[in-house]
Structure 1
């Protein structure tokens, strides 16, 4: 029963973060959306902030895991970039995942613990990407992974404001091109 309540709470939290903004989510509203009493929020989590953080980190982890899974399908670094950009094209910048990423990144500016947790998710993704790049002969795989990961984040954040330039794919493919 306790696991189901936690899942209901963490399942309801991302939608509320998107709808109301991180600071707009209250214990009462979250409990109502999850179909539980407000007291259960604090029974299962040390604070509302801890619950929101766990939910957001879970969503970010799934997002980067999906991007990481593209590496296993790609046959070349250029194909990996293409796959990531194709996956990114599913996000408009105003869709729920884009808004959750934006709200979470903003919340990291005010919460050191959340900043550390988001940093771990990104560091894990960059390490996975760097290892894959190293196996596929990309020059300076760690730095290349850092730049590509930051670019993917930036493109996701920019999509709500400006369409992705067609040249981005060309530039990013060139970034990972294996030089003989």
Structure 2
């Protein structure tokens, strides 16, 4: 349909492709989520207000409210988005390695990166705040369940783990618990050297748990 002033109709939008308004809306949402993670890392939960985030993202307060009604919704969405982006990046990097899958040692290094980046720091701020905020906890618990399942799946993929074998699922979960704990130790001081030593030792132990004795040294 042409416009009511008699001018020519705008360019047709191909079926299934977002129009300009949808693209702007997605870009605004993305800017808000990225700004939220940056604020959480730099300012913590207390300093990450919706006003600060909107200013940093360069969007109006009204636009922010259109996408996210509360600070809790905004922060939860941001943490989930950044976590998934990071996981997808690790999958791409792993696929580019020889053979399309990293060895155990390299897989542990990739998983450690997932827990030492800004996404983990932002999530940590959210978890701590949710401990004493019932409304926020209602958002965070299902979010943590979703991210936990996705992270476990990523670990299974990177490690090439066969969870039908007895003890393998527990070994994968123990690995995630280990790298999460090491990431906590890295929040206040650089714990990289100790983390690398522990992961090398764990890689040798994990190879045995995943594939049995005599599997060789992890790459």
Task: Give the structure-2-normalised TM-score.
Answer: 0.66
Question: What residue in structure 2 maps to residue 3 of structure 1?
Answer: 26
Map 1:43-54; keep pairs closer than 5 Å: 43-54=66-77
| C-alpha RMSD of matched pairs (Å) | 3.2
Does the Cα contact within 8 Å between 2:40 and 2:47 map onto a contact in 1?
Answer: yes
Relative to 1, partners in 2 of residues 1:112 and 1:71: Cα closer, same or farther, differing over 3 Å?
A: farther
Contact 1:26 1:48 (8 Å CA) reproduced: yes
Write out the 4+ residue segments of structure 1 that deviate beyond 4 Å after TM superposition.
67-75
Could you list the runs of 5+ residues in structure 1 that have no partner in the other structure?
Answer: none
Tell me how far apart the structure 2 counterparts of residues 50 and 82 of structure 1 sit (CA, whole Å): 35
- Does the 8 Å CA contact 1:129/1:145 hold for their aligned counterparts? yes
Q: TM-score, normalised by structure 1?
A: 0.78
Structure number with larger C-alpha Rg:
2
Flag the structure with more relative contact order, 1 or 2, with Cα contacts below 8 A and sequence separation at least 6. 1
Structure 2 Cα separation of the partners of residues 127 and 99 of structure 1: 21
User: 2-side partners of 1:61 and 1:90: how far apart?
Assistant: 10
TM-aligned CA distance change 1:138 to 1:97, over 3 Å = same
**Matched residue count:** 177
Alignment correspondent of 2:201: 170
Q: Which segments of 5 or more consecutive residues in structure 2 lack a partner in the other structure?
A: 1-23, 214-219
Q: 2:56 aligns with which of 33, 54, 66?
A: 33
Structure 1 residue 102 displacement after superposition: 2.7
For residue 112 of structure 2, what is the aligned residue in structure 1?
88
